[in-house]
Amino acid sequence: MSAAKITPIRLRDLYDPKPQPPKAPVPIRPPPPRAPPERAKKPALKRSLSGDSEPKPIMRRRAQSLPSSEGPRRLRSLQQVRFVDALGVKLEEVKLFRVQDKPLVPQHVLFRLLMDSELAFGTSLELSLPYFKPCFPDNMGAEPDFLARVCAQGVCLERVLCSELDITGTVQVLNLAFEKEVSLLYSHTNWRTHTHTQASWVSSGHGGGDGAPQTDVFHFRLPVPPFILQPGSILAFAICYCVSGSTYWDNNNGNNYTLTCHSYKVTVPRECEDSMLHFT
C-alpha cells in the first residue's frame, strides 16, 4: 500500500506571506438597448401612415330568420321548365335585332302562315319548290351527231338529271389509254369562284365495232347548296378530260353548260296539311 503524499506547511509562509501583485481593472461595457419583442413590432407595421388605430376584425353572423342562398339556387336549378312540341323543338326563340338589321323569317314560319291563311279562306295549299333547269338538251346522247362530237372533242356530255339536292350526269370520253381522269369545274358566282370535282368511271360505252370509236362512260355529281336555290340563280360547269399527258375540254362550244333555277307549285292534299307543320 503506497503512502499518501504529504505537503509540508511552513510557519514562515503563514506568518510572513508574500504580497500579491495588484490586478488590472477590467473595463465594464454597458449593455445595449433591448429590442422590443416580436409581438410589439407586428402591430406597428400594420398601422397606416395616417396614424389611425389598428382596425379590429368584425364578426359577422347570419340572422337565423334569413334563408340560405344555396337553397333557392338549388330549387331553381331543379324546377326548370322547357316548353317544346311533339318533336322536341323549342316553341319560343328570342333574338335581338339592331335598327339597321332586317329580320329574316324562317321558311317554316312563312309556310305555316301561308297554310293558315289558305285554310282560313278555304283554298288548297300550294308549295313553291325550286329546281334547276338546264339551258341545253338534257339528253345530248340521243343527238345524231353525238359520236361525231366525241371524236372531235375527245369528251362530250351525255346526259344531265336535275333534282332539289344535286345535279348528276354522265360523260363519254374516247378510250385513248387505260389511265384517264375526268373532272368538272362548276361555279354559281359567274366564275368569280369555282369548285373542282372528280367524275368516276362507270362502264365502257361503244365497243368500237363497225368503225365506231371505243368510249368510256363516267358519272359525276354536283351538289346544290340551299343558299343558291333562289329563282334566277345560275349554275355553270365545264368538263375536263386528261389522258396520256393531253387535256381535252367540253364547254358547250365556249358557252359552258348553264342551268337556271326555277320554281314550280305543288298542291298539298287535304289529308297531308296537318303533317306539314315542320316542313322546311
Q: Is residue 207 part of a domain?
A: yes
Please, what's the b/e burial string for 131-168 (b: 16 or more CB within 10 A of its CB; e: otherwise)? ebebeeeeebbeeeebbebbeebbbbbbbbebeeeebe
| Pairing label, strands 234-243, 246-250 | antiparallel
How far apart CA 4 and CA 13 sit, in angstroms, is: 23
- The answer on 219 and 154 residing in a single domain is yes
pLDDT (tens, 9 = 90+) of the chain, 280 residues, equals 555 567 666 666 665 556 667 777 777 777 777 776 665 455 554 454 555 555 565 555 555 555 555 555 555 555 667 777 777 777 777 777 777 777 677 766 776 776 666 555 555 666 677 888 899 988 988 888 898 899 999 999 999 998 878 899 999 999 999 999 999 999 988 899 999 999 999 988 776 666 678 899 999 999 888 888 888 889 999 999 999 999 999 999 889 999 998 877 766 655 555 555 444 4
- The answer on 187 and 114 residing in a single domain is no
| Pairing label, strands 155-162, 180-187 | unpaired
- The answer on 120 and 139 residing in a single domain is no
- Can you give the pLDDT at residue 250? 93
- The answer on 252 and 151 residing in a single domain is yes
Q: Is residue 69 part of a domain?
A: no
- The answer on 143 and 124 residing in a single domain is no
Residue 169: name the closest of 133, 131, 217 by CA.
Answer: 217
**Residues β-bridged to residue 239:** 184, 250
pTM (predicted TM-score): 0.52
Can you give the residue range of the structural domain that contains 119? Answer: 107-131+266-276
CATH code (residue 220): 2.60.40.2440
- Residue 240 backbone zone (phi > 0: left; psi -120 to 50: alpha; other: beta): beta
Q: Is residue 17 part of a domain?
A: no
Q: How many domains does the chain have?
A: 2
User: Residue by residue, what is the 3-state secondary structure of 108-153?
Assistant: HHHHHHHHHHHHHCCCCEEEEEEEEEECCCCEHHHCCCHHHHHHHH
